[in-house]
Structure 1
Amino acid sequence: MTPTTVIDETGTPSAFTAPFSRAMLTSDRSLSVLDSETGAWETRTWRDVHARAVEIAATLVAARGDEGQVEHVGLIGDPTVDLIAAIQGAWLAGAAVAILPGPIRGADENRWAQATYTRFAGIGVGTVLGDGPQFDLLTAVDGDLHLAPAREYGVGADTAGFVPVVAGPDAPAVLQGTAGSTGDPKTAALPESSVHTNTGELVARLGMHHSRDIGFSWLPLYHDMGLTFLLAGMGAGFQTYIVPNSAFAAAPFKWLEWLTETKATVTAAPNFAYDILGRYGRLLQSADLSNLRVAISGGEPIDPDAFDKFLAETERFGFDPAAAAPAYGMAESTCAVTMPATGEGAAYDEVTVTPPGDGSEPRRRRYAVLGKPLDGMEIRIVEPNVDVPLIDDREVGRVEIRGTSMMSGYLGHPQLGEDEWFDTGDLGYLLDGRLVICGRAKEIVIVAGRNLFPVEVERAAASVDGVKRGGVVAMARDEDSSRPGLVVVAEYRGSDRVATRSAVVSAVASECGIVPADVILLDPGTVPRTTSGKLRRLETKQMVTAGALS
C-alpha cells in the first residue's frame, strides 16, 4: 500500500509545508507533551497532529472571508499538542507564526499582557491561540485581536475541500523575537525558505531519522533553539517529547529523569543547564543516559571547565562524551549556524591570551570549538572595531555570517540583501574551518587601558562558593565615576558577604590579572535577564551606573 501524503489528502501542497506534512503523515511515531500540572503525557501520532493542523488551517482561511487578507498567527502559553499543531496549521493557511514569552518572574502581569498584546498587533498578528494563565491574561486586554483557546479552535472543521495556501518562499514563516541581551529586542522575519533549509540541514548534519531517533526538549518554543528542535522532530517524523520550560525551571534534575524515561537519543539545552548537572551531579543517584547520541549545547557561551564537569559526572550514567555537540546559532539565522558532526564530541582550543595594554600578562585559556557551518551557511572573520585581547597564532575579529538560513531582515528595518554579510556582534576566529567564539564586541570591558573579555572575569567570579554560575556580569565603571574600574555584579546565596567579596576579588585577580574596584552581591534572580534567560548586560550596567544595584 502506498503511504498517504499531503497531496492525497489536501490537493497541491505548499512547497514549504509539503515536507513537514509528508513526514507527519507517513511517520508511525508520535508527539508527546507533558502536562506539568498532572505530570501526564498527552500523546498523539504525528498523523493525528497533522489532521489537527489541517482543522486549524481550514478555520483560519475561512475566517478571512472574501477579501482573503492574510494575518499572522500568534501563540502564547505552555506547549500543548493543539498549540504545536497550530504552527503547521498557520503555515498551511499561508500565515507566519509568532510565539511570544510569558511574564518573567516578579513582573507586573497586567503590564506584561498589555505589552504582549500590543506587540502581537504591531507585527501583523490577527489571531492569537493559547491556553493557560498567560492566555487568560491576554483575554482581559481590550483590542481587535481574535483570541481563541487552542484546544477548541477549529475542532470538527470541515477539511474535505481544504487546499494549503501557497505563500511563496520569500513569505515569512516565523516572526522570531531576538534575545536583546545587549539592547532592545527586535523581531526577525524568517522566510519559509530559511526555516525549511535550516531545519533540513540540522537534521542532515546530525543524521536524525524517524526509524531510530527520539527527541526530548524542555526549551521554550518562543526561543529559536526550542522551535527548531521541535521542527526537526516534525520534519523528520521521529518520536518527540516536549516538556514546558516552567517544569524544568521548577526541578532541573528532572531533565535526567525525563531522558531516562523517554530513552531519548537527541536533546538540546543552553550551557547553564549542563553546568547545573556538572556542579550538582554528584548528588544524583541514578539515571540512564546511554541512549543519547547527540546533546546539543548552545544559546550562550560554553565554559570548558564546567562542561568537562558535566561530562565527568554523567559518565557513570552511561553518557557518551562523543555525543556532546557544542554549537553556535542565533535567531537571525533561524537557529543553527555551526554544528559539529555526530560523534565529534566537545573540543577545545587552548591558547595564550594577552589583553592589549601596558603591563598585561599573557594567560592560558580554553575556548570551545563550535563545529563547521551548516551547508548553505558561510562565516568570515573581519577586522574588529575595538581593540581585542591578542591570541597567539589566531586572527581574532568580528564574526559575520550569510547564507540560506538567514532572515530577510528585522521588522521595521531595511531588508538584508541576498548576499549581504550579517554582523553577529560576536568576536571569534576560525580553526580548521570550525568556529571559536571569544566574546561580544559590545561587551568588551575596558579598564585602565586594558581590554578584557568579560566572560573570563565572570567565570573566575563564579568559581567562588555561593556565587551563582550564570548570574555574574562583569563591566567597567566609567572614568568619570567616583569609583572607576572593574565591577563584578553577582547573584549570591550565603551568609558571609564580606568573605565572599574578598574571595571574588582574589579569584578575579588571580585568573585575570586585574583587581575589581567593586563587587556587588545580589539575591538570586535579581540580575536582569531576557525572556530566554540570558543576562541583560547593558541594562545591568545602566542600573549600576544609576545606583539601582548595590
Structure 2
Amino acid sequence: MSELAAALTAAMRTGGSDLVVFDRESAAWRRHRWPEVHGLAERIAAWLLDRDRPAALGLVGEPTLEFVAAIVGAWLAGAGVSILPGPVRGAEGRRWADTTLTRFAGIGVRTVLSHGSQLDALQALDPSRPDEMVVEDLAVAANTGRRCPEPPAPHANPAILQGTAGSTGTPKTAALSPDAVLANLRGLNARLGVTPADVGCSWLPLYHDMGLSFLLASALGGMSLWLAPTSAFTASPFRWLAWLSESRATITAAPNFAYNLVGKYARRVSGVDLGALRVAINGGEPVDCAGFERFATAMAPFGFDAGAATPSYGLAEATCAVSVPAPGTGLRFADVSDETGTRRHAVLGAPIPGTEIRISPRHDAPDGVGEIEIRGASMMDGYLGHAPIDHQNWFPTGDLGFFSDDGLVVCGRAKELITLAGRNIFPTEIETVAAQVPGVREGAVVALGTGENSARPGLIIAAEFAGRDRAGARAEVIQRVASVCGVVPSDVIFMAPGSLPRTSSGKLRRLDVRRSLEAVD
C-alpha cells in the first residue's frame, strides 16, 4: 500500500481516540473508536477490490462514519478519492444529480458511493447515467462481511482528485499523490504541534480541501475529532460554539465568514467555555482583520485566548496548507499603502515544513508586493488532463503578497474569482448557466461576489433581460445556478438590454458593474 495508507493504518489501528460524528436526525453525537473506523475502511476496500479496484472512488453525502471510512478504504484498495458536494438549497434534484455524475465521469470516476436522499437522486437517473457508472449505497459497501486481504501493491493512482476554483467540469482538477497528501498532513501537524491529547472540532465540508485535510490530519495525529455536517452549522451557526464547548476542542478551523458572523452577533452567545481552544484556523478565503479581531475580543469573556487566532494560507494545488503561524502567535497585521490609502492585512505565518514560498516581483504591484510562488513536497502532480508539473519548479499561485517580519501577507487575489464560504468559483461558469434562462441575454451576464467583509458574503447576478416574466426568470436563474454551480445567488438583478457597461472591444466591465451596485446599496 502507499505510505499514506500505511501511515493512516498505523495511526488508526493503535489510537485510543475517537471519531465523534453528529447525527442530524437525533441531534446527538455518536462516538466511534478510530480502530472501528479503520475496520469499516478495510471492508470498503474489500468491496472495491471485488470490483477490480476502480482508479478513483466518487463520494457524495453527509460526513457519516461510513463516509469517513470510505476515504481511507479507497486508499487501502489503491484507488483515489473525489468528493463532490450535495445539492444546495433551491437545487432541482435531477439536474443536480446529472451534473454530479457528469462531473465524476469527466475525471474518470466510474464508481460512486452515497447515502440518503442524495443516493436516491443519483440512482434515479437510470438509465440515463453515464456508461459503466456504478452508484451504490455506502452501507452496502461497508457491510461486505469481510475485510481487505493482503494490502495491494502501491499504485500510480492519485490519492485525491481535488477541484480547484469552480464547481462544474470546466475548472481544473488537481491530482494529488499519496506522498503529497502525507507530506502536507505531516507538515501541518508539525506546525501546530498536534498530539493525541488534542481534540478537533469541524463542520467544514469534506469536498473542500480544508475540511478534508482537517479530518485526515486528526486521524494521522491520533487525536479525537468531533465532526458535524456543514448543513448543521448552516441551520444554526452558533451551534459551533456549543460544540467547541462540549467537546473541549483544542483545534478548530473555519472560513472567515464564520468568524465574522459570530463576532458580529456575539450578543447571542451564552453559556459556552472556549478556554480549551489553542488553535482557531481562519482559512479558505481572505481574512478580514477587523472581523477576526472582533471575534477574538467578543469571545474573550467565554475563555477564548487571542493567541489561538490562526489566520492561514493554502490552496488545493498544494494539497491544502501552505503557511500557518505557530500556535500562540495570534493575529498580527501588516499595512500596504498606495495612492488610494492604507489597508491592513493579516500576517499568515511561515511556510509549513516541506513547503517553500517566494515572492516574484510584478511591475503592476506596489513596491515589495509580487506574485506568491510555492514549491515543495505537498504539490500536486499537475492538473488532470494537463501536462505534469516539476516539483522543483516554482508554482505561480495568482495571488499577490509579500513577506513581513512575522511571515507571509496576502494582499490580493485573482480578480476574476468569486469567493463564497471558502469556495472559489469562476464567474464565467455562473454567467453561462444564468444565460441559459429564456429572456436572459447571452453574453450580457455578470456574476459578482459582494460583501466579503460582511457577516454574510453573497453572490449577485446582474443580467440584461428581454423577456416578460421577470419573477419566473429570476426564480429559474436561482434554481439553475444552485443546481449546477452549487451556490445560491443572494440577488438577481435584471437590466434593460444594453445597460451593462462594456469596453470599446465589447468586453463587460465587471468593476464598473460592482461600483454601480455598491453605489445603489
TM-score range, shorter chain: 0.7 to 0.9
Cα 1:186–1:24 change in 2 (3 A) is same
CA distance in 2, matches of 1:376, 1:305: 31
Aligned counterpart, 2:153: 166
Q: Are 2:247 and 1:247 aligned?
A: no
| One-letter amino acid of the counterpart of residue 173, structure 2 | T
CA distance in 1, matches of 2:140, 2:244: 31
User: Please, which of 43, 48, 58 is the counterpart of residue 46 of structure 2?
Assistant: 58
| One-letter amino acid of the counterpart of residue 50, structure 1 | H
CA distance in 2, matches of 1:335, 1:532: 22
Contact 1:323–1:344 (CA under 8 A) maintained in structure 2: yes
Task: Measure how far apart 1:338 and its partner are.
Answer: 0.4
Alignment length (residue pairs): 456
| One-letter amino acid of the counterpart of residue 343, structure 2 | R
Q: Give SS of 2:265's match.
A: helix
CA distance in 2, matches of 1:415, 1:32: 38
Aligned counterpart, 2:257: 272
Aligned counterpart, 1:263: 248
Aligned counterpart, 2:304: 319
Structure 2: which 5+ residue stretches go unaligned? 418-447, 465-477, 492-506
Aligned counterpart, 1:500: none
- Normalising by structure 1, we get a TM-score of 0.76
User: Please, which of 326, 343, 346 is the counterpart of residue 368 of structure 1?
Assistant: 346
CA distance in 2, matches of 1:462, 1:246: 21
- Taking only aligned residues, the RMSD between alpha carbons, in angstroms, comes to 3.5
Structure 1: which 5+ residue stretches go unaligned? 1-12, 355-360, 445-457, 482-524
Contact 1:264–1:291 (CA under 8 A) maintained in structure 2: yes
Task: Measure how far apart 1:124 and its partner are.
Answer: 1.7
Contact 1:471–1:527 (CA under 8 A) maintained in structure 2: no
What pairs with 1:274-353 in structure 2 (closer than 5 Å)? 274-353=259-338
What pairs with 1:131-146 in structure 2 (closer than 5 Å)? 131-142=115-126, 143=129, 144-146=132-134
Task: Measure how far apart 1:543 and its partner are.
Answer: 12
Task: Measure how far apart 1:238 and its partner are.
Answer: 0.9
CA distance in 2, matches of 1:323, 1:339: 12
What pairs with 1:6-405 in structure 2 (closer than 5 Å)? 13-64=1-52, 70-142=54-126, 143=129, 144-159=132-147, 162-168=149-155, 171-180=157-166, 184-210=170-196, 212-354=197-339, 361=340, 363-384=341-362, 387-388=364-365, 390=366, 394-405=367-378
| One-letter amino acid of the counterpart of residue 15, structure 1 | E
Task: Measure how far apart 1:179 and its partner are.
Answer: 2.9
Question: What does the per-residue CA deviation read over 1:198-227, in whole Å, with 9 as the maximum and x for residues that have no partner?
Answer: 0111111101111x1010000000000000
Cα 1:107–1:196 change in 2 (3 A) is same
Cα 1:540–1:35 change in 2 (3 A) is farther
CA distance in 1, matches of 2:449, 2:60: 35
Runs of 4+ displaced beyond 6 Å: 458-463, 472-475, 525-530, 532-536, 547-550
Contact 1:117–1:141 (CA under 8 A) maintained in structure 2: no
Give identity over the alignment, percent: 47
Cα 1:140–1:460 change in 2 (3 A) is closer
CA distance in 2, matches of 1:533, 1:329: 25
What pairs with 1:528-539 in structure 2 (closer than 5 Å)? 531=486
Cα 1:462–1:221 change in 2 (3 A) is closer
Contact 1:181–1:534 (CA under 8 A) maintained in structure 2: no
Contact 2:88–2:488 (CA under 8 A) maintained in structure 1: no
CA distance in 2, matches of 1:443, 1:77: 30
